Chain A
Amino acid sequence: MSFFKKLKDRVTNQTDSVTTKFKDGLQKTRDSFSEKMNTLAAKYRTVDEDFFEELEELLISADVGVNTVMELVDELREIAKLENVKNSADILPVISEKLTEKLDFTGDDSKLSMNADGMTVILFVGVNGVGKTTTIGKLAHHFKEQDKKVVLAAGDTFRAGAIEQLGVWGDRVGVDVIKQAEGSDPAAVMYDAIHAAKSRSADVLLCDTAGRLQNKVNLMKELEKVKRVIQREVPSAPHEVLLVLDATTGQNAMAQAKQFKEATDVSGIVLTKLDGTAKGGIVLAIRNELDIPVKFVGLGEKVDDLQPFDAEQFTYGLFQTLAEEK
């Protein structure tokens, strides 16, 4: 498979230091997935319905969207029938090819779009408990290391302890946090924060918001308002709207992506908690259907547990064992 060869070459040529961490974090993901792919091929000599069913399950167990999986496997069934493929070893390359076609992230750019002349404003959105506040802490650290002046906006005025939590991150990283009292209007906090950040000549303003489920109409409206205020104060802002998704989430992540995209025009995804055993496969379906790229992955709770998403490594990670056999 030339694709894998190319991919492999490129990945191996990259400096190890950048990639080890990401790879370590993905180790579990990769092992279980590719191991299973191989067991699958070894187990079934003939390509029959059981074989396809197990392939479906393999992909589904990674939380890849049910539709994506069904479409894919149906295509494979068709090909196997047309070309009269009987032996599972013969269909493996076709599978890899199809998977790659569907799940290919190549060309995605994980770089954040930054404001060329002035302050960059990044808005964080997502459902409850996915890791928005923590990601802001990590990203603040990331920017600070690039000698940027960072300010945080405590836009979650609702959840108990949310303002204090962002405050602790601010202290930890050494950046200012603009806040108001619990219960105040989040749009007003943003307004304040933008002006405070401007007067402090900040390079980056990271805006926290309260977690909200995408089916809560009023809360989604509130979020639209927060975004409008940002837009009004800095016409080119927000420069990124990052949707934070928890890798343990199943099919509902698609609904989250759809609704948040509709409300706030999400520009990228941060996929958190990839250090667990969940695989976050739903981002593949989201990428396929909604064309939202993944920008960062969260690999733990510490300040440096955030890595830029590397599409090739992610794909390679999923199919590593396969690739190495070619």
Chain B
Amino acid sequence: MTIAFESLAERLQQTMQKIKGKGKVSEADVKEMAREVRLALLEADVNFKVVKQFVNRVKERAVGQEVMKSLTPGQQVIKVVNEELTALMGSEESKIETAPKPPTVIMMVGLQGAGKTTTTAKLANYLRKKKNRTPMLVAADIYRPAAIDQLNTLGKQLDMPVYSEGTDVSPVDIVKRGVEKAKEEHHDTVILDTAGRLHVDENLMDELKEMKASVNPDEILLVVDAMTGQDAVNVAEQFNELLEISGVVLTKLDGDTRGGAALSIRAVTEKPIKFAGMGEKIDQLEPFHPERMASRILGMGDVLSLIEKAQTNVDEEKAKELEAKLRNADLTFDDFLEQIDQVKSMGPLEDLLGMLPGANKMKGMKNMQVDDSQIGKVEAIVRSMTKQEKNEPKIINASRKRRIAKGSGTTVQDVNKLLKQFEDMKKMMKQMTSQMGGKAGKRKGKGGMQFPFMK
């Protein structure tokens, strides 16, 4: 199972070694590559039928291609795969419809435990914050124990009204009166939380159809757990056929699943995946980025997501700059300080690293915890460096070390430790980011990598 999580980039690299130097990608080469692509996608939980179609398309495109000078054959296949995958994933569409006559009605549907109730609250929060809307929530799950309490609690956290009528009233009536109430109170958006149900449960699916008929939602969002396996196609197909969904929300993407279900759902419904759930808290909802999902499914690391997260409030230009630095590993201590500030404001480092599939495989990553007192020390040391020292740590000799230690109220050992860890970190960044470009060669057996502020 450990090899299962080798990235496609690495696998193709190995398969491809053989055909390096040949002028053309032959049919036999392609067959071998196709097998690797197929395995990688199946391991990522992409539905096997979808995989089949996909691999055939890649095969067609790859056979007979000239091997480009600038790319290895392996990289060339990755390029084709990535392009095809990105095309299949579609473009970014995190728009939520607006009703010509308010309120806009959004209905959340899906299997049990997928994350509908949580996403209802997250979406309301998102729409209020980013789109200036004034949402009201409606508790239409009368079946699950304490479902209404759950939504009420979330409503309180958000300071947002929740409409409910208890559990003895038909959900069809609840949503009808809920929407009326929203209209009366001039809410421009109303989000309906419905009970989880199996796609094959006829009675409960009929109930959803009735709800749809009675309030005519502007959006019907299917909420799907990103860890779903082969069954995702059945679920998506059925919900879409019976309700004609308008989009999908993929939840629990903060986990380490490859999330191939995303591809399966796109392929069978052709509906956009609009949002991604990135945690349990109400602000952990993000617009879905199809191109990033493509590289995640292939296991090539979501470096872009990581960078964006680190740069939420910084402009695009800076994000690109940092990415380039990460790639080339010419990170300086100034970037590093900036990062520490961000790490502090971003919350758990483990969340960030979770986004890099390679990271959780590395030794030492597992026991990572940020130690605040260590961060303080690190900051002090870096602040005691001169500009030149920060940019060129190599020049820090023994006497400079003593000066820095003194200036920061630390010891020379502390300074040494930080310098060493900083070098290690640069190396690791280089390893991780190089996976993106498919250049991941054999990983150096360096093992346990420690951020300077880890315990």
Residues of A in contact with B (beta carbons under 8 Å apart): 28, 57, 60-63, 65-67, 70, 127-131, 137, 158-162, 164-165, 167-169, 172, 182, 213-218, 221, 246, 248-255, 258, 273, 275-279, 282, 285, 289, 301
In the complex, A158→B279 CA distance in Å? 13
**Assuming A215-B256, A289-B1, is B113 touching A277 (CB within 8 A)?**
no
* B114 contacts chain A at the CB level, 8 A cutoff: yes
Known contacts being A218-B369, A276-B111, is A252 close to B39, with CB within 8 Å?
no
> In chain A, what residue has the closest Cβ to B111?
A248
**Size range of the chain B interface in the assembly:** 35 or more
Stretch of B144-152, B176-184, B286-294, B376-384 lying at the A interface: B144-152
Cross-chain contact A252 with B42 (CB below 8 angstroms): no
Q: Mark B202-241, 1 if CB is under 8 A from A, else 0.
A: 0000000000000000000000010111111011000000
In the complex, besides A159-B150, A277-B234, 20 extra interface pairs with C-beta distance below 8 angstroms are A63-B229, A129-B112, A129-B113, A160-B153, A167-B146, A213-B256, A214-B255, A215-B354, A216-B354, A218-B369, A249-B227, A249-B228, A250-B229, A251-B45, A254-B1, A258-B1, A273-B111, A276-B111, A278-B230, A301-B144
A65 engages B230 (CB within 8 Å): no
Q: How far is the CA of A164 from the CA of B121 in the complex (A)?
A: 18
Q: Are B368 and A248 in contact (CB under 8 A)?
A: no
Chain A residue with the shortest CB-CB distance to B365: A217
Pair A251/B143 contact, Cβ less than 8 Å: no
A262 to chain B minimum Cβ distance, whole angstroms, is 9
- Would A60 and B280 be within 8 Å (CB), given that A161-B146, A218-B348 are in contact? no
**B229:A128 contact, CB within 8 angstroms:** no
**A214 / chain B contacts, CB cutoff of 8 Å:** 255-256
B230 partner residues in chain A, CB cutoff 8 A: 60-63, 250, 278
| Distance of A91 Cα from B228 Cα, bound (Å) | 33
Of the A-B pairs whose beta carbons lie under 8 Å apart in the complex, a sample of 11, sorted by A's number, is: A57-B48, A61-B47, A61-B48, A129-B113, A160-B157, A250-B229, A251-B43, A251-B44, A254-B1, A273-B112, A279-B231
Kindly list chain B residues whose C-beta atoms are within 8 Å of the C-beta of A62.
230
B114 contact set on A, CB distance < 8 A? 129
Docked Cα-Cα span, A131 to B350, in Å, equals 25
Chain A residues, CB < 8 A from B45: 250-252
* Shortest Cβ distance from B355 into A: residue: A215
Q: Which residue of B lies closest to A256 (CB)?
A: B227
List chain A residues, Cβ under 8 A from B48.
57, 60-61
Q: In chain B between 96 and 153, which residues have their CB closer than 8 angstroms to a CB of chain A?
A: 111-115, 117-118, 121, 143-147, 149-153
Pick the contact of A216: B200, B257, B350 (CB < 8 A): B350
A66 touching B4 by the CB < 8 A rule?
A: yes
Among B3, B149, B152, B254, point to the contact of A213 (Cβ < 8 A): B254
Is B154 in the interface zone, CB < 8 Å from A? yes
Minimum Cβ distance to chain B for residue A290 (Å): 9
Alpha-carbon distance A158/B144, docked complex (angstroms): 18
Set of chain A residues within 8 Å of B390, measured between Cβ atoms:
none
A217 touches B369 (CB 8 A): yes
> Can you list, as one digit per residue, whether each of B18-51 has a CB less than 8 Å from chain A (1) or not (0)?
0000000000000000000001001111011000
Given A160-B154, A251-B45, A277-B231, decide whether A127 and B369 contact each other with a Cβ distance below 8 A. no
Neighbour of A251 across the interface among B144, B198, B229, B280, CB < 8 A: B229
Cβ A249 vs Cβ B200 within 8 A: no
Whole-angstrom CA separation of A214 from B252 in the bound complex: 11
Closest-by-CB residue of A relative to B4 is A67
In the assembled complex, the CB of A36 is this many whole angstroms from the nearest CB of chain B, namely: 12
A250 touches B234 (CB 8 A): no
Say whether A63 contacts B231, CB under 8 Å: yes
If A66-B39, A289-B1 touch, whether A218 touches B350 (CB-CB below 8 Å) is yes
The reply to whether A66 and B43 form a contact with Cβ atoms under 8 Å apart is: yes
Residues from chain A with a CB closer than 8 A to the CB of B260 are: 250
The closest CB in chain A to the CB of B231 belongs to A278
The answer to whether the Cβ of B397 comes within 8 Å of any Cβ in the partner chain is: no
Q: Which among A167, A276, A279 is the interface contact of B199 at CB below 8 angstroms?
A: A276
Contact status of A127 and B255, CB under 8 A, knowing A252-B227, A277-B199:
yes
Given known contacts A66-B43, A213-B252, A277-B200, is B149 in contact with A164 (CB within 8 Å)?
yes
Q: Tell me the bound Cα distance from A23 to B451 in angstroms.
A: 53
Complex alpha-carbon distance, A251 and B257, angstroms: 8
List the B residue with the shortest CB-CB distance to A70.
B39
Q: A128-B113, A130-B113 are in contact. Are A278 and B150 (CB under 8 A)?
A: no
| Distance (whole angstroms) from the CB of A179 to the closest CB of chain B | 12
Q: When the two chains form their complex, are residues B350 and A217 in contact, meaning their CB atoms are under 8 A apart?
A: yes
The 9 A-B residue pairs whose C-beta atoms are closest, nearest first, are A250-B229, A161-B150, A129-B113, A168-B145, A250-B45, A164-B146, A160-B153, A278-B231, A165-B146
Complex CA gap A67/B42 in Å reads 10
**A128-B113, A160-B157, A165-B149 as given contacts; A252 in contact with B1, CB under 8 Å:** no
Instruction: Report the bound CA distance from A128 to B257 in whole Å.
Output: 13
Instruction: Pick the residue among A168, A278, A285 that contacts B146 (CB under 8 A).
Output: A168
Residues of B within 8 A of A215 (CB): 255-256, 350, 354, 360
Q: Is B70 an interface residue (CB 8 A)?
A: no
Complex Cα spacing A301 to B113, Å: 11
Q: When chains A and B are docked, how far (Å) is the Cα of A289 from the Cα of B261?
A: 24
Question: Roughly how many angstroms separate A289 CA and B144 CA in the complex, as a whole number?
Answer: 35
**With A273-B112, A276-B111: A127-B227 Cβ-Cβ less than 8 Å:** yes
Neighbouring B residues of A275 by C-beta, 8 Å: 198
Find chain A residues with CB under 8 A from B47 CB. 61
List, in ascending order, chain B residues with CB within 8 A of A57's CB.
Answer: 48, 52
Q: Which of A168, A252, A285, A301 contacts B256 (CB 8 A)?
A: A252
Distance of A109 Cα from B372 Cα, bound (Å): 47
Q: Are A217 and B146 in contact (CB under 8 A)?
A: no
Contact flag A127-B252 (CB < 8 Å), given A160-B157, A216-B350: yes
B53: interface (CB < 8 Å): no
B367 within 8 A of A: yes
Is B1 touching A67 in the complex (CB atoms < 8 A)? yes
Distance, CA A117 to CA B173, complexed state (A): 53
If A57-B48, A217-B350, A273-B112 touch, whether A248 touches B225 (CB-CB below 8 Å) is yes
Residues of chain A with a CB closer than 8 A to B254's CB: 213, 216
Determine if A278 and B229 form an interchain contact, defined as CB atoms under 8 angstroms apart. yes
Give Cα A160–Cα B144 distance, bound, in whole angstroms.
14
Q: Which residue of B lies closest to A211 (CB)?
A: B280
B366 within 8 Å of A (CB atoms):
yes
B299: shortest Cβ distance to chain A, in Å? Answer: 12
A64–B449 alpha-carbon span in the complex (Å): 34
Min CB distance, A260 to chain B, in Å? 13
Which of B47, B121, B146, B150: most chain A Cβ within 10 A?
Answer: B146
Cα distance A295–B84 in the bound complex, in angstroms: 43
In the bound complex, CA of A238 to CA of B431 (Å): 42
B150 touches A276 (CB 8 A): no
Return A293 CB to nearest CB of chain B, in Å: 18
B-side contacts of A127, CB under 8 Å: 227, 252, 255
